[in-house]
Structure 1
Amino acid sequence: MFLALADVFAFISRFFRELFLPPYEFKEIIRQCYEVGFRSLLLISTTGFITGMVFTNQSRPSLSEFGATSWLPSLISIAIVRALGPLVTALIAAGKVGSSIGAEIGSMNVTEQIDAMEVSGTNPFKFLVVSRVLATSITVPILTMYTIFVALIGAFLNVSMNEQTSFTSYIQEVFGAISYVDIFASLLKSIVFGFTIGIVGCYKGYNSSKGTEGVGKAANAAVVTSMFLVFIEEMLSLQIVQSFR
């Protein structure tokens, strides 16, 4: 276990060393941002919209028992901005992006393309790992803000159909219930989630065992490990943010 932790620490340390050293692979970073962001957009949109509508439906009966359905927009905004938006986005990205990164780098490792890049004078770690980790760290926060927006729209449609709440009143209650600390904390969490997804996927793929079976194991381990770490980070961030409120 300690050897594995030391290997992970060395991998992360190498990432931060390579991050500030030239050459800088800007084209590859932009391409990876496109792969991570745009290709996940449809799935993120559908999931965010459904999350907003389902959470609203599940919360309404509990508030109705106390005659407090007018608090529904405030409850929705607090839940989605503080927890559901970043967490849902990270889990979707871990399943779609993490597995893709693990399988792609794992297959390159199996077919010895990484060794060929080293022979040709290219730094495979910077080209493959640094670009992908930066892309996930940049794109996941953007996707989180988009998920929050879509989820709030889905919740508004549900609230409007059942309580006949106007859009202006809904927006006022939504933004009245959250603060800049909530938005900043969500963005900061999303950056950490994106970094975790990228670094886990790259580590599992970069250190995959030889053979086609190793590619499948790398993709599966990337998803499971990143999801587990996302939940741990969510729990820790919740304790930290509550101490600042």
Structure 2
Amino acid sequence: MLLRALGRPAMDFINYLGELSVLCAQMAESMLIGKKRWYLFMQQIVEIGFKSQPVVIITGAFVGAVLAAQGLFQLSGLKMETMGGALVSVGMLRELGPALTGVMLAGRVGASMAAEIGTMRVTEQIDALRSMSVHPIDYLVAPRLTAMVISVPLLITEAAAFGIAASWVVGTQVFGVSEAWWAQHTRDHTALADIYISLIKGFAFGLLIVLISCHQGLKAKDGAVGVGQGTTRAMVYSSLAILITNFFLTMLLNLVFPIGLAG
């Protein structure tokens, strides 16, 4: 009985990974030899990149501000307040910027992808595309994938930049830390390696969001209820995948790019 209870979820998970692998292979084939739809790509750049900027900026700024404030409360007891800028810079670029931006985009963009494609699925619009010899992966997935892997690293960089700027305001204007020392320590402890990690994580998280969200949309069924369930699963699965992947990428990338590596 116990084996049956444990075996069914395990088999469902393996089947789910298999479906994702098939979709990933189809996406790779579409990117290499499929028809390029530049108008749809530009539409997705606007939807994913441009329209996501407000939420990314606000998230990055307030995460940087609260990280600076909490860090300074601790560092003040050690008389190391000037290190606050370095703490925020490394933290935002290597960890908080990529992870939180990815989770926010999973909610905003991933859910939208799943809902839009899922609606097309249950209303048989995807079948209509096939009847017109239009491959659904080329038309629906490839433009979103290209736009996402370009936009997410840039959005993460933007979130980190605003987080670092907000931390400067909190540190120097609220806590009264010397501006010169704050800037000096931030420059000394921020390297190109931190930016490399941020961009690599952004690329990986963008791929995960598109893969999981489009899969949920393409597999939607049972009308509006199924679309709603697929949208919820897309957001939850994408967020969990980002957080889990972030741990393994952190362990790997910190071996390749140690903290403080000179650019």
TM-score (norm 1): 0.96
Distance 2:107 2:187 in 1: 31
Residue of 116, 125, 131 corresponding to 1:113: 125
1:163 partner amino acid: G
* Structure 2: runs of 5+ lacking an equivalent: 1-10, 259-263
Of the candidates 153, 167, 190, which is equivalent to residue 202 of structure 2?
Answer: 190
- For the residues of structure 2 that align with 1:84 and 1:191, how far apart are their CA atoms? 15
Distance 2:15 2:79 in 1: 57
Q: Which residue does the alignment assign to 2:4?
A: none
**Mapped partners of 2:114, 2:132: distance in 1:** 23
C-alpha distance in structure 1 between counterparts of 2:15 and 2:166, whole Å: 47
Greater shift in the superposed pair: 25-34 or 91-100: 25-34
Select 1:231's aligned residue among 232, 236, 243.
243
Partner of 1:216: 228
Of residues 7, 20, 23 in structure 2, which corresponds to 1:8? Answer: 20
Decide which of 142, 149, 155 is 1:137's aligned counterpart. 149
- Aligned residue pair count: 244
Match of 2:55 among 43, 59, 70: 43
- Distance, in Å, in 1 between the alignment partners of 2:126 and 2:183 is 51
Asked if the contact 1:82–1:183 (Cα under 8 Å) also holds between the matched residues in 2, the reply is yes
In the alignment, residue 99 of structure 1 is paired with which amino acid?
A: A
The 1:241–1:22 alpha-carbon spacing in structure 2 relative to 1, beyond 3 Å, is closer
Assess if the C-alpha contact under 8 Å between 2:107 and 2:235 holds in 1: yes
Structure 2 partner of 1:163: 176
- Alpha-carbon deviation of 1:173? 2.1
5+ residue gaps in structure 1? none
Matches for 1:21-170 after TM superposition, within 5 Å: 21-161=33-173, 162-166=175-179, 169-170=181-182
CA RMSD of aligned residues (A): 1.3
2:33 partner SS? coil
Spell out, residue by residue over 1:83-114, the C-alpha distance to the aligned partner (whole angstroms, 9 max, x if none): 11111110110110010001010001011110
- When residues 169 and 70 of structure 1 are mapped into structure 2, their CA distance, relative to the original with a 3 A threshold, is closer
Show CA shifts across 1:119-162 (max 9, x none): 12222211101111221111110100100111111111101212
Matches of 1:241 and 1:131 in 2, distance apart? 29
Q: SS of the counterpart of 2:52? A: helix
Partner of 1:243: 255
Q: Report the alpha carbon displacement of residue 12 of structure 1 after superposing the two structures with TM.
A: 0.7
Kindly indicate whether the alpha-carbon contact (under 8 Å) linking 1:109 and 1:210 is maintained by their aligned counterparts in 2: no
Secondary structure (helix, strand or coil) at the match of 2:245 reads helix
Aligned to 2:7: none
Q: What displacement does 1:164 show?
A: 4.3
Residue by residue over 1:1-21, the C-alpha shift from the partner in whole angstroms, topping out at 9 and shown as x without a partner, is: 333322221111111011111
1:11-41 C-alpha deviation (Å, 9 max, x unpaired) = 1111101111142111111110110011111
SS at match of 1:20: helix
CA contact (8 A) 1:33 1:139 kept: yes
